[in-house]
Structure 1
Amino acid sequence: MRAPQRVAGTGLPGLVTIWEVGARDGLQNEATTVPVEVKLEFLDRLAGAGLRVLEATSFVHPRWVPQLADADELLTRLGRRPGVRYPVLVPNERGLDRALSTGVEHIAIFAAATETFARRNLNRSLDEQFTMFEPVVTRARAEGLAVRGYVSMCFGDPWEGNVPLDQVVSVGRRLLDMGCQQLSLGDTIGVGTPGHVRSLLSSFTTAGVNVDTLAVHFHDTYGQALSNTLAALESGVTTVDSSAGGLGGCPYARSATGNLATEDLVWMLDGLGIEHGVDLEALVATSTWMAGQLGRPSPSRVVRALSGTESG
């Protein structure tokens, strides 16, 4: 079968926005440098497959993420397609300066829900990270840019263990109050389960946060990414982060494996009758091509099944 039978679910959104992170989160942890020409073709192929939000790169210091040291060149050479958004990550004001010089219209900042990860990822305390982000968000909004806030370690931290729901909500509320227009709640090490997802989303809505401002970002370390996504959809979330081919991880958390594969997400959405605008066959072809560029098979189950590389 090349597509699932459609059996519409109840209480689910009719349309989901897929926030594709393959070119940034998917590639950032690759040990071998991916040429900028390959990244540009990857982005163009993803846009050609119907994805309308493509997180293109990050303006972190090249010393911390060498794979994305070509951010300025990539955005200068990027052939932006009409109707496609190309957000980028920025860690600080210097990163914002670089991003503005390349004409970006949408940025994201990345906060931590735990003290330990804030120090490891940002070299700041949990409170100090907001001091770093505030001028970035204020300037970006003044320049007319849309701003997203990522929150990492929402469902568990490899150093601190369980993360209290109210602690995650507190971090998220501070980012929204600062001016972020959307929050992406990240299960950075993939330990969340559906009940946990529902509880966290309910905690946000109880705290006065509209579910329309929330997105989810799941890693599949324990095979829970799709079930967690379904729980989020049932809770009213309509934006889901995913990575073509299931690429990705986190360079600051060794236990973080690949992201939810976009193809696996699309297969589920198709089966539920939820619109998303993506051509699955074109997307599978893109991820198969990228797997060839990286020299290893795609971890996506749908890519392996539809490309004929599934074994067993």
Structure 2
Amino acid sequence: MFTINGSVFMPPVLTLIGIPGLESVQCWIGIPFSVMYIIAVVGNSIIIALIKCESSLHKPMYIFLAMLGATDVVLSTCILPTMLGIFWFHLPEIYFEACLLQMWFIHSFQAIESGVLLAMALDRYVAICDPLRHSTIFSQQLLTQIGVGVALRAVVLIVPCIVLIKCRLTLYKTTIISHSYCEHMALVKLAVEDIRVNKMYGLFVAFSILGFDIIFITLSYVQIFITVFQLPQKEARLKAFNTCIAHICVFLQFYLLAFFSFFTHRFGSHIPPYVHILLSNLYLLVPPFLNPIVYGMKTKEIRDHVLKMFSSKSTSG
């Protein structure tokens, strides 16, 4: 490791300190985090398996739900081993390239999740506002194109973040990252060089993904509610409204946590560091943990198949 005037040149290894200010209780914080992770993996895996095995669930709404579940499993798995390594086993070091790879996975799957949520909103919009054309519009070919497009958008927009760090930032004030995983701004702020390009591109990516998606999701649901309240039958209004409740809960928990984390990390200089880090951790762990619970409780088809699966197991046992 080379040092130049007290700065570190291209450090091969970085050190993650976990949650600054809460080091003494990190081992206890790891317990609820690991419980949330286990529930997220088990719950989303059950939903994915149900959708794969049950032919009656091979519909756009449930296929998007399976995509969301798979994204949640990968996203939470990207950070929890690193966090528990710091909290429980005192393993804070990470190779620089591994840090960049973790950063790429985290931000890419955040973008993919946002894209899947947008696709789910558009699916509900067509299903409620133009039901006769829903099966024609959301064909198997379109579903494949949406999946590929969402993944490509994430890769194309996130890769330059990694390239900018790797190629433009060579001198670092310290190798210690005040975070529990490799987050873009947490790493960029360590650099000695001018980081305005990195910060501006990070803002561009955040608003071009989260901002774009949330605008179209909001517009979709405004039109959905206008259409629902115009339905003549009360039963039809209730049925259409109930199908959207789970989606709205999932959208709110993802985007509210995303914007709280984003703005506090970039503009909340007066907020204690541990609040920044806890919000970032919850942003990546809470949606994967809550999504299968919300859909399991609010989606009748999923709930019925889960109950049927466990009742058949208990009967056979």
TM range (shorter): under 0.3
Taking structure 2 as the reference length, what is the TM-score of the superposition? 0.25
Taking structure 1 as the reference length, what is the TM-score of the superposition? 0.25
Between structure 1 and structure 2, the one with the greater Rg is 2
| Greater relative contact order, per chain length (Cα 8 Å cut-off, separation 6+) | 2
Give the number of the structure whose residues are more often helix, by fraction.
2
Give the number of the structure whose residues are more often strand, by fraction.
1
